[in-house]
Chains A and B, each alone.
Chain A
Amino acid sequence: MDSDDEFHSGQSSDDFMIDDDSDTGLPEDDSDIDEVDIGFESQEKITKPGRKSYEVEFKVYSPQDIQSYQDKQIDEVSTILGQPPEITAILLRHMRWNKERLIEQYMDAQEQMLENVGLDQDIAGPPRIETKKNFMCDICCDDQPGLETFAMKCGHRFCVPCYKHYLSRKIKEEGEAARIRCPGEDCNRIVDSKSLDLLVATDLKERYQELLTRTYVDDKENLKWCPAPNCVYAVDCGVKQRDLLKIVPTVHCDCGHNFCFGCTLTDHQPAPCALVRKWLKKCEDDSETANWISANTKECPKCRSTIEKNGGCNHMTCRKCRHEFCWMCMGVWSEHGTSWYSCNRYEEKSGSDARDAQAKSRQSLERYLHYYNRYANHEQSAKLDKDIYIKTEKKMSQLQNSSGMSWIEVQFLEEASRALQQCRQTLKWTYAFAFYLARNNQTEIFEDNQKDLEMAVENLSEMFEKPVDQLAKLKVDMLDKTTYCNKRRVILLSDTADNLKAGKWEFNVELTG
């Protein structure tokens, strides 16, 4: 096994080393106007020297970062237009932060543009709260003398409590910020930040800023929110929609979540977004058919006693007859990893087996189930591995107390667990990828890489099932296996990414961006 692995790893790493020198590897055509202004790009673009070919450049921003970039842009454009910042901010938001187009259109037709956003009248003079004689508020019908009132330049005047109530409702309940209009009927005037400052309470101002930041990110192609629940970070990445057939842009948020910048789903390397969409759709459509696989119990292929899977490892040993087999293909375990046996590869039946339509459709279902089974299994195993880790973690802390091992000394378990999760996530998607792969001379290397990673993962996963008192002794071995898993993953991902970029994969479906 070793010599075999070395051969592939050597070959693949050469492949991606060559590509590594060629910068981002993405087409460098940022020529059209829409994309010239990409927020806070220029100063940030540092090319990481050690970047692998499946990695993309990205940067994680906190809400404060985004706020200050926003302010900076507003100031910049404000000087050019000769308009105060609060007006400039409204205009920029109106133009979805495309500052070149804003400046151009503003220079061409200033009046028209100001009118479009309800800023057409005299825009100097700060907004004020006033009391008016004989005033009755059209919202609450209050007409007490001395009632405080407010109106923007459009003259739609309401009492201050109503105005406040209106704004707080828009911000709090309706999540609006950038485009809140005057409460007057059919009035297009947008409530500017100065008026807002005057009228809303401090806690609402924070929410308002948050919402403004939200629309800022939503409006920009190079920015996306991390989709993890409760995460407040945004990620900046230059990969465009049209690049997604050539690259799978996985980014890593500071919160620990890895997701695809292209479609915001959880990391799905090596499969491109378009394949992922197709695959998920297929799994949804075929879920009935595939359901029978899901169960966590199977029969031992030798003695037929029921076996329950309670860890992520696919190397099963029957408690009763000690038969060792592979959970995924139910084949004999000892035959795994030898040259003629392969659990990961689907063997196409010869043409004569599938002459009539029914046989053909059965064959295509079998093929699908082969890949689906493995896809679902890795997903499930990743969960089980995690459960085991959580249990082990508890036991390790007990062990720390009783045997005096230090916290640092048990960290190898955490690392191993993380590697397992990540490798299984990758493996899972290699099966969706393989399902759509048409055979050519690249596929064999891919399947070998897949098999090698799979074996590495199973070997590591197996160690988690060892009793806790043995774990301390296995530390060095476990660290080695962890390193090896990570290495196999890098090799597989580099190889698939290189070929994807070079257009060397052939798919059995049409891929559209």
Chain B
Amino acid sequence: MSATRRLQKELLKLQEHLPPGISLVQADNFETWLMDIKVLDDNPLYRGDTYRLKFHFSSSYPIEAPEVTFITSPTTPKIPMHPHVYSNGIICLDLLDRQGWSPVHNVESVCMSLQSMLTGNEKNERPPGDADFVKSNRRRPRDISFYFHDEKV
């Protein structure tokens, strides 16, 4: 499968070299990887914290974007505060949706984009409607379903 070969290459590259503030936590299969990111500058919102990202790859990766969410763990207890990050870890970033994703992006570039998204942020807030969304959402991040109410007689 193309996903496997591509991920193998990515893994080799990540093991060789990682950009500052990004580390590989777990990649023992080609379905789910864990990465940690740190914000490097002195942004008071994120100072001293490490955040964990879970990458989930389908067999169509990288044609299809990976599913990327923030998760908590004993060593990374926080979901970063950001107007595009829901408190359940779901991220709303154009890079990760259908329109914005390009197959030439990779795990490293996603990590770097998220890192810089946090770096540039000054708002200590969640997306509007966070509480409702977190309470009601049972869908996977990219499954937006439409319905129309048809009025048959």
Q: Could you tell me which A residues sit within 8 Å of B by CB distance?
A: 138-142, 158, 161-162, 165-166, 169, 174, 183-187, 227, 229, 265-266, 379, 382-383, 421, 425
Q: Are A183 and B103 in contact (CB under 8 A)?
A: yes
Contact check, A165 vs B60: say whether CB atoms are below 8 A apart: yes
Q: A141-B9, A162-B63, A174-B98 are in contact. List 8 more A-B contacts (CB 8 A).
A: A138-B103, A140-B5, A140-B6, A165-B63, A183-B103, A185-B104, A266-B151, A421-B153
Q: Is the CB of B2 within 8 A of A165?
A: yes
Specify which chain A residues have a CB less than 8 angstroms from the CB of B63 in the assembled complex: 139, 162, 165-166, 169, 183
Shortest Cβ distance from A382 into B: residue? B153
Q: Is B102 an interface residue (CB 8 A)?
A: yes
B2 CB contact (under 8 Å) in A162, A184, A265, A383: A162
Chain A: CB-nearest residue to B7: A141
B105 contacts A by Cβ under 8 Å: yes
B residues contacting the other copy or chain, number (CB 8 A): 19
Q: In the complex the two chains form, is A266's CB within 8 Å of B152's CB?
A: yes
Binary interface encoding of chain B residues 8-51 relative to chain A, with 1 for a CB under 8 A from any of its CBs, else 0 = 11000000000000000000000000000000000000000000
> Which residues in B have some Cβ–Cβ distance to A below 8 Å?
2, 5-6, 8-9, 60, 62-64, 98, 102-105, 148, 150-153
- Indicate if the CB atoms of A425 and B9 lie closer than 8 Å: no
Chain B neighbourhood of A186, CB < 8 A: 102
- Chain A residues whose C-beta falls within 8 Å of the C-beta of B8 in the assembled complex: 141
Min C-beta distance of A389 to chain B, whole Å: 13
- The answer to whether B64 touches A140 (Cβ under 8 A) is no
- Inside 8 A of A139's CB, which chain B residues have their CB? 2, 6, 62-63, 103-104
How far is B2's CA from A166's CA once the two chains are assembled, in angstroms? 12
Nearest to B102 among chain A residues (CB) is A185
Give the distance to chain A from B99, nearest Cβ to Cβ, in Å: 9
**Cα-based distance from A265 to B148 in the complex (angstroms):** 11
**Residue among B9, B60, B103, B152 having the largest count of chain A Cβ atoms under 10 Å:** B103
5 contacts between A and B (CB under 8 A): A142-B2, A183-B102, A185-B104, A185-B105, A383-B153
CB <8 Å contact, B153 and A266? yes
> A184, A185, A383: which has the most chain B beta carbons within 10 Å?
A185
* Complex Cα spacing A111 to B153, Å: 53
C-alpha spacing A109/B98, complex, angstroms: 31
Within the complex, the shortest CB–CB distance from A347 to chain B, in Å, comes to 30
Once the chains bind, are A183 and B104 in contact (CB under 8 Å)?
Answer: yes
CA distance in complex: A187, B51 (Å): 31
Contacts of A227 in B (CB 8 A): 148, 150
Would you call B153 and A141 a contact (CB within 8 A)? Answer: no
Q: Are A162 and B151 in contact (CB under 8 A)?
A: no
Taken together as a complex, chains A and B put the C-alpha atoms of A227 and B103 apart, in Å, by 35
B residues less than 8 Å from A166 (CB atoms)? 63, 103
Which B-chain residue is minimally distant from A183 (CB atoms)? Answer: B103
Are the C-beta atoms of A184 and B60 separated by less than 8 Å?
Answer: no
Q: Is the CB of B153 within 8 A of A425?
A: yes
Q: B153 contacts A229, CB within 8 Å?
A: no
B3 closest partner in A (C-beta)? A140
- In the complex formed, the residue of B with least CB distance to A422 is B153
Question: In the complex, A275→B150 CA distance in Å?
Answer: 18
- Measured in the bound complex, the distance between the Cα atoms of B2 and A183 in whole Å is 16
For A183, the chain B residues whose CB sits under 8 A away are 63, 102-104
| Shortest Cβ distance from residue A334 to the other chain B in the assembled complex, whole angstroms | 31
| Set of chain B residues within 8 Å of A138, measured between Cβ atoms | 103-104
Shortest CB-to-CB span from A7 to chain B, Å, is 32
Contact A184–B5 (Cβ < 8 Å): no
| Minimal Cβ-Cβ distance residue in A for B62 | A139
Please report the C-alpha to C-alpha distance between residue A165 and residue B60 in the assembled complex, in whole angstroms: 8
B110 to chain A: closest CB distance in Å? 12
Q: Which chain A residues lie closer than 8 Å to B152 at the CB level? A: 266
